[in-house]
Structure 1
Amino acid sequence: MGVKTSPQSEKKTPNLAVQKSHEEGTVVDFDASYLIAGGYEPQLERSFSWMQLFSCAFIVTNSWLGVTGGFSTGLTVGGSATIIYGLIIVALFNIAIVVSLGELVSSMPNAGGQYFWAMKLAPSRLSRVSAYVCGICNLLGGLTGVSSGAVAAAYMILGCVNLSHPDFEIKAWHAFLIAVGFILLTSVLNLNESVITEAVVIGLWSCLAACFAITIIPAAVAKEHTSPNFIFNSTENSSGWSSPGMAFLVGMINANYAFGLIDTGVHMAEEIPEPEKNVPKALLMAVGIGFVTAWPLACALINCAVDIDRIAGTSTGVPLLELFYLSLRENVAGAIFMQLLVAISYFWCLAAVQTYQSRICWSFSRDQGLPFSKLWSQVHPRLKVPLNAHILCVCLSIILCILPLASTTAFNSLVTGVIVFPYISIVIPVFFSLLPRNKDVPKGPFNLGRWGTAARVLTILYCTTVSVIYCFPYTMPVTAGNMNYISAIIGIVAIYAIFDWFLRARKQFNQKEL
């Protein structure tokens, strides 16, 4: 399908919207020229506007929504200070991450993103295996994002039922069925390109409106509030870790989850004009607006968290719902309404994450990254979406929803996967981009020079550290009930990858004219 060139031999195409070929008498879309030069045939329409791209990137990451998802965990493991300062720390490091991603996508826009860059930047003996690992991890990040989000939304619905009918007993299989319903409903929005481009904008405004309401209403109505000292200085260590520093880092999982899947815009690079300019802007905006919405909301919620023990130990199983209930002066209808705003935001988030994961699956399959790749790499001629890849991802996400049936700990491992797997996929190409052999790789319009190099170093250090830390147990001492099973999940994935690599992918993956 294409030719891999050395960094020294690659030439930057002039930055023109349209490039004329007088010899052939044809007109070549400049956006498509990036793909053609990389050996790919343009298949998707560039129907996303910049606003639609940003909307998709924002509602996937949806930082304020991530804060609500694990709110009580941050409070009980590290204290309110862990959430407040953790969000600031994580946002700053995520700026470094999106700067790194932005420079790479500006230079080499491709829906494959991390795995494609690893293929281009790694030494030849490592390029294919490195790209394969990136692709697998990137896809798993999307799959765990959908499954964990769907299960979380399902428990929100069940919590509302329990609040209004205290005799109702929540079962894990209830959550599974509702989660499947969420996945199937949101999958419908991804069946047509014109539908999802409009849906993400509606989702953006819906999520922003919900964030505004949740930030303002509970704090305005609540009778009692915590003190500023509690909000900004309270620390808590119920994790069992003897080191306060380790407890703080573990407690930052809430903040890290709030910026999960930050690479979304990268994988939409083949569906927007001038991706070398528009994608970096969308990445930066997703972090900026994400922090601007998440941090005030976190402060407002902590301001209402007067009775932490009651919030964390609620019979509804949804601490945020209990916080709404107490803040709204035990008004059941009001609490349910506020929680439904969160659940509806999860609906939009799930729709966009399914867009994200299907593009990764489709692009990875173009290079034979998965078994039966020929099937998954097809784009529906009428719907203009990678329909088969989308259906595959929906099925895999539903299968992952079975894990929480085993235990709450298994569900937490899915949440961790949203952080760890994408970070692994990011570290690999960013590391290779710093090798001396790549110093002459043509730069894109988005290039920060030495600041960009510093951002890449910070990205490597941060993503590696976080990925290692979140393989540790959340609480000590370790038991079967509180074990962090992300290490086991990584092990299972590694076994699959090894078998697939030696039985199939070693011969098939990216076997172009290299």
Structure 2
Amino acid sequence: MGAVEFDAPVRSTERSARHDDAALHRQGKRPQLKRNFGFMSMVGFSSTLMATWEPLAALLQGGLVNGGPASLVYNFLICFFGTLATAASLGELASMAPTSGGQYHWVGILAPAKWSVKASWLTGWISVLAWLAATATPAFLGATLLQGLFVLNNPNYVFERWHGTLLYFAVIFIAVFVNVYLIKFLPYLETIILILHIGLFFAIVIPLVYLAPQHSAEFVFTDFENLGGWPSNGMAWCVGLLTCAFPFTGYDGACHMSEEIEDAEHVVPRALITSVALNGALGFGFLIALLFSMGDLETALSTPTRYPIIEIFYQATASKKATNAMIAGLICSAVCAVLGLMASASRTTWAFARDNGLPFSKTLSYVDPKRAIPFNAIAATTLPLLLLGLINIGSTAAFYAIAGVATVALYFTYLAPIALLVLKRVKREPVALGPWRLGKWGLPINLFSLCYSIFISIFLFFPSFLPVTPQNFNWTVVVFFGSVLISIISWFWYGRSVYHGPIKEMYD
């Protein structure tokens, strides 16, 4: 194995199509979807799914309470380098088997024969859960950020949770409309969204730095806060990881779009690494600018808008109009992220159903021949997303746990195939890698990614505050392990009789 290969050979469209179909045939899959995406549109797709600096702004409170400015800075760097290693590891696997199934398919290939089918089943169920939760989170953030603006502009407005749910529904329906009726324009739209993603960064950071009074470097890089009641600063630091960990998820959406990408064996790995590097740079720049310009910490944390970022922007600009415009940019980014997340979530559902991994698999694996989209899978993804929105009416804390579930579940789907790849490499067992590979750096990068993912996953189950009450309980642990239990019961109920791992489809 040689050095990391970043550049794919140039192919004609016809030759590339034959090559992509042949790669899919090797996995036993029949091409059913149109390959509309290229490298730039997929970088835009992955970048907007992550949208690192935008969710960082929305989820700022958790990191400020548990760790403060200093921990946000250093936790961000930890998450950035850990994610970069994970993206490289997943890229190698995506080049090996570029299918929409992604992680559960790779687990089926790499796991020992005795456990292959069971491990693939569990990974598939958690992957479906992960993408549902990941799609719901920015939709909820966008909806409630808009409510925060209502509070800013009208102090008499009552922050009703059901208002947020209705706004959340509106975001979901926009995503469904785009994924069903405008799907052929999605690659072009993602390129435009990428430009918007970068342009908004400068449009927000420049006035923030220019207008706001500046904190000292000592405050940004050394000030530590333990406002969550943890007995040690080290624990507070680790619990605050979620603020930086969640923005570094979702980039693997490119893997689940593999069957709609030209030259997927090369484009997917390159898109993963490029999007993580780009978002890491933008996110770190935004974080540093924000911490220097954030004004009074206590005022930001106690804001009636429920989002410190709104108060920070208002303190910096002293203008409601400017704050409205800046937050509107974040809301727009959240809505744009949901467009791609809906696409990835539905493709994950479709792929798993194609392999008989879900109830009503034949129906869910149907592809609309006119639009070449998994219409039933999109509909099946939409229903639980609408039900998730109802959770917000009963408890905002429970819905925030959805962000935790998305992060934990996605990290599980990352570490499962990477752990199996590490096992193969340590045992020196042959692995039929694709054309894009890490060469001699493969094992060290895989090991670093694995250790990082395990460490992050442990602390994502911790509550944000002590003592634990029903109001601040972290429901992530209940939802995640409850879903694991359901998948195990489903396996014994019907899965073991119908699911045999990634199947080899019959050809006409």
For the criterion TM > 0.5, the same-fold answer is yes
Aligned residue number for residue 451 of structure 1? 441
Q: Among residues 362, 365, 371, which one is paired with 2:350 in the alignment?
A: 362
Aligned residue number for residue 475 of structure 1? 465
Structure 2 residue 118 is the aligned partner of structure 1 residue 129: yes
| In structure 2, distance between residues paired with 1:497 and 1:465 | 24
> How many pairs align?
493
Deviation at 1:438, TM superposition (A): 6.9
Aligned residue number for residue 397 of structure 1? 385
C-alpha contact 1:71 1:254 (8 A) present in aligned 2: yes
Aligned residue number for residue 498 of structure 1? 488
CA deviations over 1:259-299 (Å, ceiling 9, x no partner): 01221111111111221111111000111000111111111
| In structure 2, distance between residues paired with 1:434 and 1:86 | 25
| In structure 2, distance between residues paired with 1:491 and 1:288 | 32
The structure-2 alpha-carbon separation of the partners of 1:362 and 1:438, relative to structure 1 and needing over 3 Å to count, comes to: farther
Show the 5 A alignment for 1:217-232.
Answer: 217-222=207-212, 224-232=213-221
C-alpha contact 2:107 2:119 (8 A) present in aligned 1: yes
Q: Secondary structure at the match of 1:325?
A: helix
| In structure 2, distance between residues paired with 1:16 and 1:86 | 39
C-alpha contact 2:82 2:453 (8 A) present in aligned 1: no
| In structure 2, distance between residues paired with 1:422 and 1:450 | 27
Structure 2 residue 243 is the aligned partner of structure 1 residue 273: no
C-alpha contact 1:121 1:438 (8 A) present in aligned 2: no
The structure-2 alpha-carbon separation of the partners of 1:99 and 1:399, relative to structure 1 and needing over 3 Å to count, comes to: same
Q: Secondary structure at the match of 1:95?
A: helix
CA deviations over 1:441-474 (Å, ceiling 9, x no partner): 2222221223111111122222122112111222
Show the 5 A alignment for 1:404-419.
Answer: 404-419=392-407
Q: Among residues 305, 314, 323, which one is paired with 1:316 in the alignment?
A: 305
Deviation at 1:411, TM superposition (A): 2.2
Aligned residue number for residue 10 of structure 1? none
Q: Secondary structure at the match of 1:242?
A: coil
Structure 2 residue 323 is the aligned partner of structure 1 residue 335: yes
| In structure 2, distance between residues paired with 1:489 and 1:28 | 41
| Higher alpha-carbon deviation: 476-485 or 171-180 | 476-485
Aligned residue number for residue 101 of structure 1? 90
The structure-2 alpha-carbon separation of the partners of 1:163 and 1:100, relative to structure 1 and needing over 3 Å to count, comes to: same
| In structure 1, distance between residues paired with 2:321 and 2:161 | 24
Aligned residue number for residue 273 of structure 2? 284
| In structure 2, distance between residues paired with 1:509 and 1:196 | 33
| Higher alpha-carbon deviation: 491-500 or 295-304 | 491-500
Paired AA for residue 76 in structure 2 = L
Structure 2 residue 223 is the aligned partner of structure 1 residue 234: yes
Q: Secondary structure at the match of 2:155?
A: coil
C-alpha contact 1:17 1:31 (8 A) present in aligned 2: no
CA deviations over 1:419-453 (Å, ceiling 9, x no partner): 10011112111111223477312222221223111
Q: Among residues 72, 82, 94, which one is paired with 1:83 in the alignment?
A: 72
For structure 1, the 5+ residue unaligned runs are 1-14, 21-25
Deviation at 1:255, TM superposition (A): 0.8
C-alpha contact 2:161 2:396 (8 A) present in aligned 1: no
Q: Among residues 499, 503, 507, which one is paired with 1:509 in the alignment?
A: 499
TM-score, length-normalised on structure 2? 0.93
Aligned residue number for residue 54 of structure 1? 43
| In structure 1, distance between residues paired with 2:484 and 2:356 | 18
TM-score, length-normalised on structure 1? 0.92
| In structure 1, distance between residues paired with 2:504 and 2:326 | 56
C-alpha contact 2:95 2:265 (8 A) present in aligned 1: yes
CA deviations over 1:236-276 (Å, ceiling 9, x no partner): 11121112222111112111011012211111111112211
Q: Secondary structure at the match of 1:501?
A: helix
C-alpha contact 1:366 1:374 (8 A) present in aligned 2: yes
| In structure 2, distance between residues paired with 1:443 and 1:66 | 34
Paired AA for residue 150 in structure 2 = V
C-alpha contact 2:132 2:345 (8 A) present in aligned 1: yes
Paired AA for residue 383 in structure 1 = R
C-alpha contact 1:57 1:282 (8 A) present in aligned 2: yes
Structure 2 residue 484 is the aligned partner of structure 1 residue 460: no
Q: Among residues 198, 206, 210, which one is paired with 2:188 in the alignment?
A: 198
| In structure 1, distance between residues paired with 2:243 and 2:65 | 11
C-alpha contact 1:133 1:425 (8 A) present in aligned 2: no
| In structure 2, distance between residues paired with 1:135 and 1:61 | 21
CA deviations over 1:345-393 (Å, ceiling 9, x no partner): 1111111111111111111111011110111111111112111111111
Paired AA for residue 409 in structure 1 = A
| In structure 2, distance between residues paired with 1:209 and 1:106 | 31
| In structure 2, distance between residues paired with 1:245 and 1:212 | 34
C-alpha contact 1:66 1:258 (8 A) present in aligned 2: yes
Task: Report the identity percentage.
Answer: 28
Paired AA for residue 122 in structure 2 = V
| Higher alpha-carbon deviation: 192-201 or 155-164 | 192-201
C-alpha contact 2:82 2:452 (8 A) present in aligned 1: yes
| In structure 2, distance between residues paired with 1:481 and 1:31 | 51
The structure-2 alpha-carbon separation of the partners of 1:290 and 1:96, relative to structure 1 and needing over 3 Å to count, comes to: same
| In structure 1, distance between residues paired with 2:428 and 2:419 | 11
The structure-2 alpha-carbon separation of the partners of 1:28 and 1:188, relative to structure 1 and needing over 3 Å to count, comes to: closer
| In structure 1, distance between residues paired with 2:368 and 2:33 | 9
| In structure 2, distance between residues paired with 1:298 and 1:28 | 42
Structure 2 residue 165 is the aligned partner of structure 1 residue 176: yes
C-alpha contact 1:161 1:168 (8 A) present in aligned 2: yes
| In structure 1, distance between residues paired with 2:204 and 2:65 | 21
Aligned residue number for residue 151 of structure 1? 140
CA deviations over 1:172-230 (Å, ceiling 9, x no partner): 101011001111112211114312122211211122211111111122122x2211111
Q: Secondary structure at the match of 1:309?
A: helix
C-alpha contact 2:55 2:138 (8 A) present in aligned 1: no
Deviation at 1:400, TM superposition (A): 1.2
Aligned residue number for residue 165 of structure 1? 154
Aligned residue number for residue 6 of structure 1? none
The structure-2 alpha-carbon separation of the partners of 1:323 and 1:33, relative to structure 1 and needing over 3 Å to count, comes to: same
The structure-2 alpha-carbon separation of the partners of 1:17 and 1:129, relative to structure 1 and needing over 3 Å to count, comes to: farther
Deviation at 1:499, TM superposition (A): 2.4
C-alpha contact 1:63 1:259 (8 A) present in aligned 2: yes
The structure-2 alpha-carbon separation of the partners of 1:16 and 1:364, relative to structure 1 and needing over 3 Å to count, comes to: farther
Deviation at 1:494, TM superposition (A): 2.1
* Backbone CA RMSD of aligned residues: 2.1
